[in-house]
Structure 1
Amino acid sequence: MEGKQFQQIWCVDFEFGQSSNLTPEARCMVAREYYSGQLQRLWLDGVAKLACPLPIGENSLYVAYYDSAEMGCHLALGWDLPHSLLDLFCEFRCQTNGLKLPVKNNLLGALSLHGLEHISLTEKEEMRELALRGGPYSSAEQVALLDYCQTDVDALVALLPEMVNKISIDHALIRGRYMKAVARIEYVGIPVDMPLLERLRANWEYLQDDLITSVDEDFGVYEGRTFKIDLFARYLNLHQIAWPRLPSGNLDLQDKTFRMMAKGYPQLSPLRELRHSLGKMRLNEFKVGADGRNRTLLSPFQSKTGRNQPSNSKFIFGSSVWLRGLIKPPAGWGVAYVDWSQQEFGIAAALSKDQAMKQAYASGDPYLEFAKIAGGVPTDATKRSHPEQRALFKATVLAVQYGMGRESLGDRIQQPVIVAKDLLRKHREAFRIFWRWSDGNVDYALLHNNLWTVFGWNLQVSGQINPRSLANFLMQANGAEMLRIACILMTEAGIRVCAPVHDAVLIEAPLEELDERVRQSQELMSEASRQVLGDFELTTDAEIYHYPDRYRDEERGGPFWDKVMSLLEEKC
C-alpha cells in the first residue's frame, strides 16, 4: 500500500439495529489499533451518547468492511466521520471484479478466499438477529455481541496485510470518501408522500382490474388479468412494430426488452408500466421510514462497472417509473433532479480525444451534429426541421454506447438490417479516432485480461467474453466514477443528496436555498466531470419541484401516473 503513511490504523466494526426511520441504531463498537494492538470495546445501546473515542484526523486511517454501515452509525451517534477511510469491501471488489468467485463478496467470503479463519455463517446470522432484535439486552447478551463484534475486527486485522500490497491507497481513499457520501445519502433518504402511498397500498388490489381496462383500451392485449401474446403480436403487426425475438422465434417479453422498446416507441410506455406494476411491483416491499423517507442500501460497487445496485423493489428509482410521482418535498422545501447531458457520449469523446466527437458534444445536440457530419441532414437542420432523421442518428449513437449490433439496432429503429449496418458504418467514419481508441481497448483487454478506469476501478477479463461489453466498460465505469466524485463533492459541501441515479442526483433544500443549491450542485457536477475527463467539462440540466408539487417523469411515467390517480379518486 504505497502512498500516504498513517501514524495509527484503526480496524473498526459496529453491531447495529434499525430505527423506525430505517436508519442505524448502534448497539456496540469494537476497534483495534493495527500497530499497537490496543483494543477498545464500547457498549452503546441504551446509554447516554458518548463522544467518539477514536482518533479520526488526517494522521489516522479508519479501516472497516462495507463501512457505509459504520459511517451510518457515526451519523446516528452524532460523531464526525473519519478523515481517511479504507473500505476492504471496496478493495476486495476492485481486486476480484470480473472473476467468478467460489465465495460471496462479504467479509466471510474475503477471509475464505485468502485462507483465513472465520466464524461460521450460522453464528454470524444468530448474532445479527440479536442485534436487529433490539433491547433491552442482558449483561450476557451485551458480552456476546461485543465478542462477536470483536471477531470481525480481528478478522480485519488479519485481512489487511493479505490485501495491502494490491491496494492503491490514493484510489482506495477516494472510494472510502464515496462510502462516507453513501452513508450521508442513505441517512437523508427520499421524501415520499406517505398518505398517498398508504392509499395506494390499501387499494392497489382493487385498482388493478380497472387499471388494466383503462390502459388496455389502447392496446387490446389483455383478457381479464392475463396478458395474451397472440393479441400483442396482432397489435405489433397492426402498428408495424418489429419486436425482438428469442432464438426460439417467440417474442422477447422480458422487462428490459419492453423498457428498450418503450424508449423508441413512447406509446408503449403505459403498457410496459402496467406489466411491470402487475408482475414485479410490490408496494409493501417499498421501504419507507416513519418519517416518510424512502431508505434502502444503495449497494455501491456491486456491478462490474462499479455502479450502485440497490434493490429494485425497495428503491423508488428502481421500481416502476410512474411510482416516482410519490416523491414530494415536505412543506417549505423543494427537490431537484440534476443530470449530466449525454454523459456517455461526452465521456467517449473526452477519453478517446476524438475532436469531431468533442465538437459534436459541444454543439449541444450530438445526435443532430452526427447526422450533419454523416450527410444525413443539411448543415442548417434543426431538431424541429428533421425530427425523424435525428431520431435515427440518436438511436445509432445509443446503440454504440449500449454495445448493440446491427440486428438489435435494426429492431430498435424498425429498419432493415442493411440500414442499421449503414448507420453504424457512418458512425465509424464520422468518429474514426473514437473507434480506434475503442477497438484498441478491446484488443488490450483480450490480450492482457484487464481494463481500469481513471481512478483505478478494475475489471479482470475472464470466462465467456463479450467484446461489446468490453467496449462499453470504460464509458459506463468512468460514468460511475464521475457520479461518485460528484456525490463526494456535494455531500462534503453540505448539499442534501437524496439519491444517486445512474447519471443524475436528486437533492433537496429549503425553498429559500433551493436555487443556490441547484447552482452549486451543477457547478460541482461539472467539476466532477473535469476530474474524470481531464478538464473536458460536461453540461448539466436541472428539473426543479417546489412544494406542493411532486416529482414527475413526464415522458416515461406521467401518463400512467395520471391513470392511476384518476382511478384512485374515482373508485376509492
Structure 2
Amino acid sequence: MPAKEIWAVDFEYRQTDLCGELPEIRCFCAAELHSGRTIKLWVDELTDQPPIDFGSHTILLAHNWKAEISCFKALGWPDPHNPIDTMIEADRVKMTAGSGYRPTSLKRLLEQSKLPAIEEKEEMRELAMENRRSALFSPAERQALLDYCLEDCLALLKLWPKIRATINSYIPDEETAFFWAHRRAKYVFCCADSDLYGVPVNQQLWDKMITKQPQIHSGLHARLKESYGCSDGVAHFKIAGLKQYIQHNQLKWPMTPTGLPKTDEDTLDRMAATNPQLIQFADLFKTLRKARAGNLNIHNGRCYSKIWPFAQAGTRNSAKSNFIFSAARWLRGLIKPEPGTGLAYLDYGREEVLIQAVLAQCPAYQKAYYSEDMHTANGKRFGLILEDMDKASFKAARTLAKTCTFRIQYGGQAVGLSQSLGISLAKAEQIIRAYRRDFPEIQQWRQRVESTAIAQRYLVSPDGSVLKFNENINPRTACNFPIQATGAAILRWTQIRLRGQGIKVLCPVHDAILVEYPLEKKEETLRICQEEMVAAGKLFLNENKLLVDVENEVAAPDSFPTGNPEIWDLVMELIN
C-alpha cells in the first residue's frame, strides 16, 4: 500500500428530485490520517482545483463514492487515483448466499466495529436539502453543516484499521488486494455515470402512452382473453383460465404448493423458451404486471434509474424496477437516440459457456463455444434435432437445446429438466448423459467447487468479492457464483476502461453495455468498445477470446428495436 497520505472526504449537498441533474453542493470537508490535518470549505470557497492532491500517493476514503463522485463532477474535479469505498468494502465480505442486499450505513458500520457511533442528525440533512441557494445560508447554518460534514470524515478515519483489514481479507497479497479495492470504487464511478446519463427515449410517445394507459391496459387484457382465455378481457387476470389452457394444451407447467400455475418471471421465460405459443402470453402477462403508468422514470427525453453495484450474490448489479431493460421487452421500442447521436448495444455472446469452459479446463466445451452454432450442435448431440425437421420444428428444437445446455451447465437435474421443459424423464436423463459424456471436465469442476464451498464456507471471485455460505449449501448457487462473478468482473473492467477513454456507457445490462456516441464518432467508438471488451475477457480468461456482438445499432431519428413487435404494434394501435 504505497500511499503517503490517507484522506477521508465528504460533501453536504442538495439533490433535486429529478434524476439526471448534478447535486447542488453546500460544503466539502476532509481529514488526513497521519498528520491530523482537516479541511472545511463552504461551496463559495471551492474551485475547479481540488484542495487536496488526489494523485498516486494518496488514498481517498468515502462512504458511498456514488454520491461523492457526483459532487466531484459538479465541481469539475478529476477522478481520484486511489479511491476506497468503505461501504462497498464492508459489504464485500458480508454477502451470504440466500440473503438479500442491504447497504451498510456509516453509523451501522461504526456500531458493528464497536466504535463510537456518529449521531444521525435529521435536522442537518433537512438543512442541506432546503430549496435555497447556498449563498443564503447564515454563518451559523454554514458552521453547523461544516461541523456535521467533518464528523463523518473523522469517523471514517477511525474505521480505517478495520477497513484495511477487510480489504486484505481473502486476498493474501496486500498490493493485489488494494489494486482490486481501488477498481471496485472506480466501478462505482461508472454506476454514478449511468444514474446521471439515463437512456434517451421518445418523450412524446411516452406522454401519449401515459394518457392512454387505461386503453392500453384493457386492450392487453382483451388480447389475453382472446388468445389464452385467462382474463376477463377488461382488467382482471383469471388463474382458472390459465389452468384450463394448460390442461387443454397438455403443457407441463410448474405449480405452486397450492396447485396453482407459477407465474413468476423465471417460470414464464422458461415456458416461453420451450413453447413458442407462450411467448406472446409471457410478454402480455409481464407487461400487465410491469408496465403501469409512471413505472418508468421518464422526463426531459431520458429514462432514469438507479444501479446498485455488487448488489447480487454473483457480484452483478441490481437495478430498480424502473430500469428500462428490466421492464417488459416491447417497451424498448421507446428508446430513441437524440438528434446527431447513435446508440449501440454490445453483448458478450454465450459468455457463461466460455467462462465455465476455462474455469473447468474443458477443451471440448471451449471448442463448442467457438463453433458456428453451438446450440444446433448440442441439439444433435442431445437427439433433439433430426435431419428431416421442418423449419418451425428445427427452431423449437434448437431453442430447447439452448435451454437444456444452460440448465445443465448450472446444475439442472433430470427431474427438474423434465418438469420445467415438458419432456419425459427418460429424455431428460438421456440429454444429461450426453452432456456429461462429451464434457466430463464440467461435472468434475462442479464437484471441486462444491467441495471447496463446503470446506471453506465461502468462495472468492477473481477480483476479490466474496460469497459466504450457511450450513445448507445449495450446489447450484455455489457453482453459479464463479461463473457469474467472473462475468461481472469482466464487464466491470470493460466499463472502467471505457470510462477512462471518454466512451459514454449509458448502462450495463447483465453481460452487455449500451453506449451513446456522436454520429461522426460511431466507427471509432464501436472499435474501442469491441477492443476493450475482448481485452477484458482475455485478462480474466487466460487469453481466451470472448465473442462480442454489436447486437443492435441505431442512429437518430430511428428508434431501438422493440423486444416484441406484436405487442408494440398492438399498443400503437390502441393509443392511435
Compared CA separation, residues 374 and 279, structure 1 to 2 (3 A): closer
Name which of 535, 538, 552 aligns with 1:527: 535
Distance (Å, rounded) in 1 between the aligned partners of 2:572 and 2:359: 45
Q: How does 1:484-499 map to 2 (within 5 A)?
A: 484-499=492-507
2:142 is equivalent to residue 142 of structure 1? yes
How far the C-alpha of 1:536 sits from its partner, in A, is 0.9
Q: Against the structure 1 CA distance between its residues 5 and 404, is the aligned structure 2 distance closer, same or farther, given a 3 Å change threshold?
A: same
Q: Does residue 529 of structure 2 align to residue 558 of structure 1? A: no
Aligned counterparts of 1:50 and 1:491: Cα–Cα separation in 2: 20
Q: Does structure 1 residue 448 correspond to structure 2 residue 456?
A: yes
Of 112, 126, 130 in structure 2, the residue corresponding to residue 133 of structure 1 is 130
Check if 1:9 corresponds to 2:24: no
1:350 deviates by: 1.3
Equivalence for 1:431: 439
Find the residue that maps to 1:506 and give its secondary structure: strand
**2:557 alignment counterpart:** 548
Residue number among 474, 478, 486 corresponding to 1:478 in the alignment:
486
Q: Which residue of 2 aligns with 1:307?
A: 316
Does the 8 Å contact 1:526/1:538 carry over to 2?
Answer: yes
The 3 A distance-change label for structure 1 pair 47 and 281 is farther
**Alignment match, 1:178:** 187
User: Does 1:193 find its partner at 2:202?
Assistant: yes
Q: Which residue of 2 aligns with 1:406?
A: 414
- Following TM superposition, by how much is the alpha carbon of 1:383 offset from its aligned partner in structure 2, in angstroms? 9.4
Aligned match of 2:342 in 331, 334, 341?
Answer: 334
Could you tell me which amino acid in structure 1 is paired with residue 147 of structure 2?
D
1:85 equivalenced with 2:83 (yes/no): yes
1:31-85, Cα deviation, whole Å (9 max, x unpaired)? 11121121111222x7885422121111111111120211111112211111111
Q: Which residue of 2 aligns with 1:250?
A: 260
RMSD: 2.6
CA distance in structure 2 between the aligned counterparts of 1:373 and 1:538, rounded to whole angstroms: 23
Please point out which of 296, 311, 314 is paired with 2:305.
296
Relative to 1, partners in 2 of residues 1:41 and 1:288: Cα closer, same or farther, differing over 3 Å?
Answer: farther
- Other-structure match for 1:211: 220
Q: Distance in 2 between matches of 1:568 and 1:61?
A: 55
Per-residue deviation, 1:175: 0.9
Distance in 1 of aligned mates of 2:56 and 2:149: 25
Whole-angstrom CA distance in 2 between matches of 1:85 and 1:272: 44
> Residues 401 and 120 of structure 1: is their aligned pair in 2 closer, same or farther, counting only changes over 3 Å?
farther
1:299/1:308 contact within 8 Å kept: yes
The answer to whether the Cα contact below 8 Å between 2:314 and 2:484 also exists between their aligned partners in 1 is yes
Is residue 284 of structure 2 the alignment partner of residue 274 of structure 1?
A: yes
| Partner of residue 109, structure 1 | 108
Residues 103 and 434 of structure 1, relative CA distance in 2, 3 Å threshold:
closer
Partner secondary structure for residue 214 of structure 2: helix
Which residue number in structure 1 is paired with residue 57 of structure 2?
59
- Kept after mapping to 2: 8 A contact 1:393/1:423: no
Asked whether the 8 Å contact 1:22–1:289 carries over to 2, the reply is no
Match of 2:251 in 1: 241
**Secondary structure of residue in 2 paired with 1:240:** coil
Q: What amino acid is the match of 2:37? A: Q
Amino acid corresponding to residue 147 of structure 1 in structure 2: D
Distance (whole Å) between structure 1 residues aligned to residue 19 and residue 394 of structure 2: 51
- Residues 274 and 396, structure 2, Cα contact 8 Å, conserved in 1: no
Q: Which residue of 2 aligns with 1:152?
A: 152
Identity %: 32
Write the deviation string for residues 207-244 of structure 1: whole angstroms up to 9, x where unpaired.
Answer: 31123213432222111311111111111223332111
User: How far did 1:308 drift?
Assistant: 0.8
Matches within 5 A, 1:20-99: 20-25=18-23, 26-44=25-43, 49-98=47-96
Code of the residue aligned with 2:349 in structure 1: it is S
Letter of the 2:211 partner, please give it.
A
CA drift of 1:540 comes to 1.0
Contact residue 22 and residue 288 of structure 1 kept, 8 A: no
Equivalent residue letter for 1:563:
L
Q: From the superposition, tell whether residues 260 and 375 of structure 1 become closer, same or farther in structure 2 (CA, over 3 Å).
A: closer
In structure 2, distance between residues paired with 1:183 and 1:332: 24
- Superposed CA deviations along residues 332-379 of structure 1, whole A, max 9, x for unmatched, are 111011000001111101111100000000113222333455666689
Match of 2:15 among 11, 14, 18: 18
Q: Secondary structure at the match of 1:494?
A: coil
Counterpart of 2:525 in structure 1 is 517
Alpha carbons of 1:329 and 1:428: their partners in 2 closer, same or farther (altered >3 Å)? same
Distance 1:7 1:341, change over 3 A: same
Evaluate the alpha carbon distance shift between residue 283 and residue 116 of structure 1 in structure 2; reply closer, same or farther with a 3 A threshold: farther
Give the SS at the match of 1:222: coil
Read off the aligned partner of 1:163 and give its amino acid letter: I
Cα distance in structure 2, aligned partners of 1:370 and 1:208: 41
Secondary structure (helix, strand or coil) at the match of 1:338 reads: strand
SS of corresponding position for 1:318? coil
Q: Deviations over 1:165-195 (max 9, x none)?
A: 2312122122122122222333322112212
SS at match of 2:404: helix
Partner of 2:356: 348
Distance in 2, matches of 1:155 and 1:302, equals 25
Give how far 1:278 is off.
2.9
SS in 1 for 2:492: helix
Q: Is the deviation greater in 503-512 or in 199-208?
A: 199-208
Quote how far apart the aligned CAs of 1:17 are: 2.4
Aligned residue for 1:268, secondary structure, equals: helix
Gap runs ≥5 in structure 1:
none
- Matched position secondary structure for 2:345: strand
Point out the more displaced range, 54-63 or 111-120: 111-120
**Deviations, residues 523-569 of structure 1 (Å, cap 9, x unaligned):** 11111111111101110111101111111244xx3322221122111
SS in 2 for 1:134: coil
Moved more, 270-279 or 416-425: 270-279
Contact 1:368 1:383 in 2 (8 A): no
Is 2:150 aligned against 1:161?
A: no
1:417-447 Cα distance to aligned partner (Å, 9 max, x none): 2322221222122111121112100111011
Across the two proteins, how many residue pairs are aligned to each other?
Answer: 559
